[in-house]
Structure 1
Amino acid sequence: MSEFSKEAIDAITSNLDDIRRRLSLNTDGDSLESVDGEILVPLKELEEIRISGGTNILLYGVPGSGKSWTIEHEYCHQDSVVERLVFHPDYTNADFIGQILPVIDADKQLTYEFTPGPFTTIIRDAYKNPMREYILIIEELNRGNAPAIFGEVFQLLDRDDNGTSKYAIYNRDIADKVYDDEKHPIRIPSNLTIIATMNTSDQNVFTMDTAFQRRWQMKHIPNKFTGLKDDAKKHVDKLVPGSSISWGVFATTVNSKMGKASLGFAGTEDKSLGVYFATDKDLDRKDIFAEKVLKYLWDDAFKMGSSEVFKEHEKSLSYLIETFEEIEGDTLKAVLLDSVYQEMKEKMLAAEETEPIEKAESVEEE
């Protein structure tokens, strides 16, 4: 790295906010200029102070395993600038990158101009603020046609060791919005990280080819119900509404049936209930739990084999939900197979026996 000029050091240390503001102004040649032509910092030296380490990360796991929680607690920082969006089947490249739209100009005349989408906007902001970390979060990446949504900017996902795009693309509309120069090569700056999430159980979603996937750092989020602390442990220990069975015992028992049951293509461990599939609020009311959890198990996870967990007289989803909501006794006992419910009861008893030991060990460690 070359030494900074005295002019650059003075500008950076004494008036960083002014530099950030002026970065939005015209760039021409190798220098950044203000309106009156005052040279602030050479572009080369500006890039040397840019935060590095930007990358593309794809978190995947079963629904409710904690992907969004992981992003918030492990990747986002207090000073991070975060943009969040969700892909879906109707989401397009124009929505993501930008599109030509009609606008009314200052003279109240109808004209057409490029309106940037979230991808173009965050690249512009990251480029013009080199000392700040920017994060673009894309939820449900595979629920939209991701390769088509990215389009030509797919090429930018290849990063060098610094975190900048290895290869540039050329697009007059994007370049004009980001660099104020239609001919400027476009790259993802090193201070911009893209984090996406993907549920492994989603059906009727778009597949992603190997070329697209290899440009992401893949990270599996495990579905853990044990070894949890504080709020997470309280959550799994919370009782299913109207039952003496905890959410953690219910979910782990049902998940184990998915792995063993012969459910054809519809049965897979990827459809497991995640630790946060049901929230604390979901566990407060029978109707919400039934519509969210039991409906998912009936319609999706055990679609081809509901008799693996539910009683034979539960012939329809409507009857299942009505029984769960209206029963006076234990809700789960009323709808689950006796063998499944008994397995849950035994796990609850075993947990009660080990809890005093765990508490004693915790006290000794403190």
Structure 2
Amino acid sequence: MNNNLVAPAYYVLGYKQGEGIEQQKRFVEHGLWDHDHNKTVEALVRRVPVGARVALKNYFTRGSRKKGESRAYIQVIALGTVRENEGNGQRLLIEWDAPIKPYEVQTRYQSTIAQIRAGEAQIRRIFALPTVPARPPAIYFVHPGPDGTWWPKFQEFGNAYLPAIVSESARLAFGQLRPGDVLVATTRYNQALGLGVVAPSSDSTAAGLPATELTCPVKWWIPHAAEMNANTFLVAAAFGRTKHWTRIRQAYEAQHPELLAVLNTHFPPAEPDPLSTVPLQKFPSNQILFGPPGTGKTYATAAWAVAIIEGRKVSEVEAEYYANREALQALLQTYRLRGQVEFVTFHQSFSYEDFVEGIKPTLATDDDDEEAEALSYRIEPGVFRTLSERGAAAINLWHQQQGLSSTALATPLDFTSVYTQFVATLEDKLLKGEEVVFKTKSDTAIVFDGFSPKGNLWVRHKKGQKEEPFTVSGFRLRKLYDKFKTVAEIQNVTNDITATIKGANTSAYWAVFNAFKEFEGQVAPVASPIEISNKSAWPNLLQGLVADPAAAKLAANKLDYAQVAAEILADAPRFVLIIDEINRGNVSNIFGELITLLEDDKRGGQLNAMNLKLPYSKASFQVPPNLYLLGTMNTADRSIEALDTALRRRFSFSEMPPKPNLLKAVAGVELGPLLTALNERIEYLSSRDHCLGHAWLMGVNSLEELRDAFHHKIIPQLQEYFYGNWARIRQILGKAFVEKLTLKVSLLDPVDEYDERPIRYRITDPGQWTVKSFQGLYVVNHAPSVRTSTSATDPGASAE
């Protein structure tokens, strides 16, 4: 059963009544779910995102309605995950979990398809998810609709909810809310509307609420507004962690002193806010986690990356998410979507062209039609240059947002900047329930119907017979924008547009392009894709640097480190490049001349700052001080011997040793002492770089699984460490696991007394490994003895 807590949405699905078992069987066997209901249901089906968890259910009631004892239930028949939404409102393609025994849940979901809106507890009951252990309260902001228009309903119904269309990062963060977390309801322009605490789901009601994607019960303790300092919020995201708890408290205490007692009761001054109330933790700019295989180096990079970005201690992050790995991964994914974290693995074929920049062949492709165009070559930035430009751009934006830059980045209008604002306007109207109509050249109506999963526009003819929406892609609009400076240049709608975008609903494209050009005329002539204003969302700005690399490059090039104060550099958003298996790549080939720029004092804005000209683009390049490199290195890998000395000097090293204390007892075998004993012998016979990691035994829950771990993981690892030297392996594992083989045939020529014949060994039958066999590996209370005799006949005799 899939217990993933980070699904983008949760739905319950019904089916045609009367066909019962046959419908259930068809859905599961063919990996789908469909219906034959009305357009209202179709609209809901079209909105189901890929990755959503779904529950196939029956609805029924129990008890006497007359006596007021009637209760609504659903019977959960099957669970699954949406793998494809065909977009026609009729069918979803679903990967169903392994068959389950049907179970009942008391709930109200009667309709054919419904989004679960009753809070986390209801989701856990319906999807049989495990209970999440308690953690310290977290502080979030939430926007009650455009300009705070939903705030009265938030108070009336004791809820906080997000609309159907929100960013993936907001959706993931909202899914991590727990009872006791603090919510700050805000407008997007420096006003806190009220404070509340997430309540248990049983305290909430969804009665009277509009159809929304996500709902959470909240007890609003302080339904009073407070004006904030300039630049406190300035966000367009619907939901997320707040960095301004101290400012929020101070504003309420100053403007509403009568609420001080409530604040101290429910929101004490010592409320932890690691994002703002404590200084950012310092980290080495270049860090390598090293240790033997299986010690969780790659696993640990998630906590390290989050700690670096949030300026917290790694131990704090690990403690907070120790029992909730899903939440940590969701948080890391949020930062990845925002462009602050990238992951790459070095290997023998990885090169400078992959890492920094290189000339790459490209095939222009339309994402909607997958139509190939001419082959071309262009200079493509690698992951290191891309993240460096984002980091420098973020410093520039951060510098402006703090009010320390008097000039905005004045650039001419371009398609990306106008289209971003155009789409935001459409989204705002959609959230307000306004109908958006585009007029064709023949004056017929084209209705905006929402956004496709790829972020393109869905439109439909208002009076047409076609029920499915038609996609108008930003890719093709950009082609029209590049070809025609004005709409008037399109003389023949069908011919001109078809020749430009190679076949499409030309009337719809003309209508949207016409509306887009009209919108462009209303935008200020100095607008820039990275200009700061009170309507800008800081997380969205970072995400915009991912969506528009040209804007990131522009902001990075405009950055003048001489004008940026040291405290701005220290507080600017941080970026982390995780390099797995850093020692397996040819470091001198991958980093090239940029190895020098990794040093702290040679980064942008530092005492000995340096920049170099890149060989392909001829662009001037600096490494920003807010970019952190986090590598992992396996000490047992032979490639470590060739690790570049220049890289060693520029990186700090943190050892990741085996942690036997994380292991438990299984079937009477103490896994912690067992691993300790094995590693003591390995270190004695070889080195600590060749120890066994605790990861090999982390998932062991039975004797059979322990046998499997030894047979397929531990023993092969020892064979790698002591290649061909079975006597050493026997000294580590003993005769219960490694046996000597006796000669069962007669030699035709007698053995000469000086003839040296190797002793043959083999692994014993895993089925014969008993609890006593494993216990015998660690109950010996003395160090293993190594024979020093020069006898070559039996080098492993001392293991007997």
Give TM-score, length-normalised by structure 2.
Answer: 0.31
Structure 1 residue 206, shift from structure 2 partner:
5.4
Instruction: Report the identity percentage.
Output: 24
The reply on whether 1:126 has 2:426 as its aligned counterpart is no
Deviations 1:260-315 (A, max 9, x none): 33xxxxx2221111222433159762334411112112332575322212325256
The reply on whether 1:56 has 2:286 as its aligned counterpart is yes
> How many pairs are equivalent?
273
Pair 318,16 (structure 1): closer, same or farther in 2 beyond 3 Å: farther
Pair 225,287 (structure 1): closer, same or farther in 2 beyond 3 Å: closer
Match of 1:68 among 279, 298, 323: 298
The reply on whether 1:293 has 2:734 as its aligned counterpart is no
SS of match in other structure, 1:197 = strand
Residue 587 of structure 2 contacts residue 644 of structure 2 at CA under 8 Å; is this kept in 1? no
Structure 1 residue 59, shift from structure 2 partner:
1.6
Residue 54 of structure 1 contacts residue 190 of structure 1 at CA under 8 Å; is this kept in 2? no
The reply on whether 1:146 has 2:582 as its aligned counterpart is no
Structure-1 residue corresponding to 2:650: 215
Residue 244 of structure 1 contacts residue 330 of structure 1 at CA under 8 Å; is this kept in 2? no
More strand by share: 2
Residue 53 of structure 1 contacts residue 191 of structure 1 at CA under 8 Å; is this kept in 2? no
Residue 308 of structure 1 aligns to which amino acid in structure 2? Q
Match of 2:698 among 279, 282, 298: 279
Structure 2 distance, partners of 1:136, 1:317, is: 48
* Structure 1 residues 192-341: aligned runs within 5 Å: 192-205=627-640, 207-226=642-661, 232=662, 236-239=663-666, 244-261=668-685, 267-280=686-699, 285=705, 286-301=707-722, 303-304=724-725, 305-309=728-732, 310-311=734-735, 313=739, 319-320=762-763, 323-324=765-766, 326-327=767-768, 330=770, 333=773, 341=775
Structure-2 residue corresponding to 1:29: none
Deviations 1:297-346 (A, max 9, x none): 233257532221232525699952x611x22x50672xx7xxxx535246
Structure 1 residue 65, shift from structure 2 partner:
2.5
Pair 302,54 (structure 1): closer, same or farther in 2 beyond 3 Å: closer
Structure 1 distance, partners of 2:351, 2:760, is: 35
SS of match in other structure, 1:270 = helix
Pair 160,344 (structure 1): closer, same or farther in 2 beyond 3 Å: same
Structure-1 residue corresponding to 2:69: none
Residue 305 of structure 2 contacts residue 341 of structure 2 at CA under 8 Å; is this kept in 1? no
Pair 68,171 (structure 1): closer, same or farther in 2 beyond 3 Å: same
Question: Greater CA deviation, 149-158 or 276-285?
Answer: 276-285
The reply on whether 1:168 has 2:398 as its aligned counterpart is no
Deviations 1:84-105 (A, max 9, x none): 1111222222222232122245
Structure-1 residue corresponding to 2:374: 109
Residue 603 of structure 2 contacts residue 625 of structure 2 at CA under 8 Å; is this kept in 1? yes
Structure 2 distance, partners of 1:249, 1:186, is: 52
Residue 302 of structure 2 aligns to which amino acid in structure 1? E
Match of 1:99 among 347, 358, 369: 358
Residue 595 of structure 2 contacts residue 646 of structure 2 at CA under 8 Å; is this kept in 1? no
Residue 199 of structure 1 aligns to which amino acid in structure 2? N
Pair 208,164 (structure 1): closer, same or farther in 2 beyond 3 Å: farther
Structure 1 residue 222, shift from structure 2 partner:
3.4
| Higher RCO (Cα < 8 Å, 6 or more apart) | 1
Structure 1 distance, partners of 2:373, 2:716, is: 53
Question: Greater CA deviation, 213-222 or 75-84?
Answer: 75-84
Residue 123 of structure 1 contacts residue 189 of structure 1 at CA under 8 Å; is this kept in 2? yes
Residue 708 of structure 2 aligns to which amino acid in structure 1? D
Structure-2 residue corresponding to 1:157: 598
Residue 274 of structure 1 aligns to which amino acid in structure 2? G
* Structure 1 residues 75-86: aligned runs within 5 Å: 75-77=305-307, 78=331, 80=335, 81-86=340-345
Pair 287,158 (structure 1): closer, same or farther in 2 beyond 3 Å: same
Give TM-score, length-normalised by structure 1.
Answer: 0.63
Structure-2 residue corresponding to 1:344: 778
Structure 1 residue 204, shift from structure 2 partner:
4.3
Residue 306 of structure 1 aligns to which amino acid in structure 2? I
SS of match in other structure, 2:600 = coil
SS of match in other structure, 2:776 = helix
Structure 2 distance, partners of 1:147, 1:259, is: 32
Structure 2 distance, partners of 1:247, 1:302, is: 25
Structure 1, unmatched stretches of 5+, are 1-9, 18-50, 175-181, 227-231, 262-266, 348-366
Residue 604 of structure 2 contacts residue 622 of structure 2 at CA under 8 Å; is this kept in 1? no
Residue 245 of structure 1 contacts residue 345 of structure 1 at CA under 8 Å; is this kept in 2? no
Structure 2 distance, partners of 1:223, 1:146, is: 27
Structure-2 residue corresponding to 1:191: 626
Deviations 1:23-57 (A, max 9, x none): xxxxxxxxxxxxxxxxxxxxxxxxxxxx9977111
SS of match in other structure, 2:694 = coil
Structure 1 distance, partners of 2:375, 2:230, is: 42
Pair 82,317 (structure 1): closer, same or farther in 2 beyond 3 Å: farther
SS of match in other structure, 1:294 = helix
Structure 1 distance, partners of 2:283, 2:688, is: 35
Deviations 1:132-189 (A, max 9, x none): 2210001111112222211122122112298767321111645xxxxxxx54x21111
Larger Rg, first or second structure (1 or 2): 2
Structure 2 distance, partners of 1:256, 1:314, is: 23
Structure 2 distance, partners of 1:222, 1:125, is: 34
Structure 2 distance, partners of 1:125, 1:55, is: 16
Structure 2 distance, partners of 1:171, 1:12, is: 37
Residue 313 of structure 1 aligns to which amino acid in structure 2? E
Residue 126 of structure 1 contacts residue 189 of structure 1 at CA under 8 Å; is this kept in 2? yes
Pair 202,54 (structure 1): closer, same or farther in 2 beyond 3 Å: closer
Residue 344 of structure 1 aligns to which amino acid in structure 2? Y
Deviations 1:177-204 (A, max 9, x none): xxxxx54x21111221001111111124
SS of match in other structure, 1:99 = strand
Pair 246,314 (structure 1): closer, same or farther in 2 beyond 3 Å: farther
Structure 1 residue 114, shift from structure 2 partner:
1.2
Residue 359 of structure 2 contacts residue 377 of structure 2 at CA under 8 Å; is this kept in 1? yes
SS of match in other structure, 2:631 = strand
